[in-house]
Chains A and B, each alone.
Chain A
């Protein structure tokens, strides 16, 4: 049994609801959704009906008023079923955070209830063809024309592209101001001059939608600016600090599922007249998987609870838990395929999909190299203070 983290009664309910959706809706459909690369609309409807889209949104905006930890335990369940589905859910939160963190009351009142009810999905648009890890390279611009902003440019690889109704997008508003020259905006799916590129064909998380957002003289009202002018990158950083433990928890759910499959299989598979779990080489592999999983879970849970205490600076811990849990998920899912070997390599068993899905966790919301940069820089700063 895993360590008891003494969840509150409410948190146990969150886990129960998310677990039931995972077992009854996600797991039975994941193979077909992956194969057909079909968006999980029906599952997300069940998630909405169960009130989970409002988990992290304050009660005054129709949400549950939960925090980072509540999101982590829900996402951990979903990703035990399918990281593609869990990503679609998590990306909506990613799109909502900028409004939550920096939006005016007017924007909050308009958009958060729609996101909380699941009536509309949200998405987050930062990356561009020439701006991946180096976000400062973005080319999309927003120019004020009377009482409207006019956006031009293309965002790339945006999760929930084409499926979301609400997009938070960063654009350059004054190139001469450097890092203070970008601002965040809310774009609605129906805004004029806004369209999408083709759906990307991916290694994993195939049920999730990844598309370009194309802005050609896209006009939006002036009040769609999120936060003050020029604070776009600041809002992006705060958004990612808050969302990274969520990505970490996708690693936990996936790691748990991979371990479960491996142990169950190793007990059943007979070679040389014995179940393969009786071979020490296999046992040690399983033991290492369990150790890595449990230690990541401890770090992710501790970090999420720390974030819920609203510390001033959380970049370092947020990055640390993202790296630990997603590197773990990659390693554990590769080992799961090794334990199941030939059967594991076949699409009849779920571990090959887990291995394909794990890879994205080390890439999006900042690659694990970039996370290590953040951690390293924070250490450097911490130790030069004393």
Chain B
């Protein structure tokens, strides 16, 4: 089974501060880490490889320094690392990101299963996994908390729901996004670290993936940031008094007034 894991390098949430003037994140002196949900995606891929054979490739769209995070994934059991990196990708929203990743994946070709984290802890959109599956025209299941089995090219997974779980089966190729409950990521092994030390990620540029420049980066993004601000907390509090019936009456009056 050929597995691909999408990984994002994100700022460590422990260190993040907002610039009080611009309200944007100040990245200076902030450590970069592997998006925590992606660590679970990677662990699941490595466990599937150990159980059913095959290989694990990790892919990231990001600046050159994202290679560090990809090599960390190699230390934790991935076989190959691909960095999709080009100035043209800068400023991409999830629309442009899924386009870029899908073009890179088409260039690499031939994956049975793609695994993503449920969401990235910086953007928190949870859109890239499903968006990517749409672009590749393959089935996907989000919020996967367990892979039950892989047989005859089919995969059977459990999707976490508020009131329990769904068991979903589909024919691969397909895509999963996973939640933290799925596993406990391993600590990088000694041999893995040595391998990562000697390895370099394969870099794919915009021309390598034959991308349409109009669809990339800021230019290819449909999201426009108009203003960044912290919402003000303006909730007013008032206390209703009297007997229960009186309080209920006053409450209904207030609610009706809002309509």
Q: Which residues does A use to contact B, with CB under 8 Å?
A: 9-10, 13-14, 16-17, 20-21, 24-25, 46, 49-52, 55, 64
Contact = CB atoms under 8 A, between A and B. Distances in A.
B194 interface: yes
B145 interface: no
> DSSP majority for the B interface?
helix
A49 B189 contact: yes
Nearest to A47: B187
A21 B188 CA distance: 10
A51 B186 CA distance: 12
Contacts of A64: 190-191
A352 B186 CA distance: 31
26 contacts: A10-B194, A13-B190, A13-B193, A13-B194, A13-B197, A14-B190, A17-B188, A17-B189, A17-B193, A20-B187, A20-B188, A21-B187, A24-B187, A46-B186, A46-B187, A49-B186, A49-B189, A50-B188, A50-B189, A50-B190, A51-B190, A51-B191, A52-B190, A55-B190, A64-B190, A64-B191
Nearest to A48: B189
Contacts, number: 36
B187 A9 contact: no
A9 B191 CA distance: 13
A17 B187 contact: yes
A25 to B, nearest CB: 8
Contacts of B194: 10, 13
Nearest to A70: B190
Interface of B: 186-194, 197
A14 B194 CA distance: 10
A13 B198 CA distance: 13
B194 to A, nearest CB: 7
Contacts of A20: 187-188
A24 B190 CA distance: 16
Nearest to A9: B197
A170 B197 CA distance: 43
B196 to A, nearest CB: 10
Contacts of B193: 13, 16-17
Contacts of A24: 187
Nearest to B191: A51
A136 to B, nearest CB: 40
Contacts of B197: 9, 13
Contacts of A51: 189-192
Contacts of B191: 51, 64
Interface centre among B188, B190, B191, B197 (most CB of A within 10 A): B190
A172 to B, nearest CB: 40
Contacts of A17: 187-190, 193
B188 to A, nearest CB: 7
A267 B189 CA distance: 36
Contacts of A9: 197
B141 to A, nearest CB: 27
B133 to A, nearest CB: 31
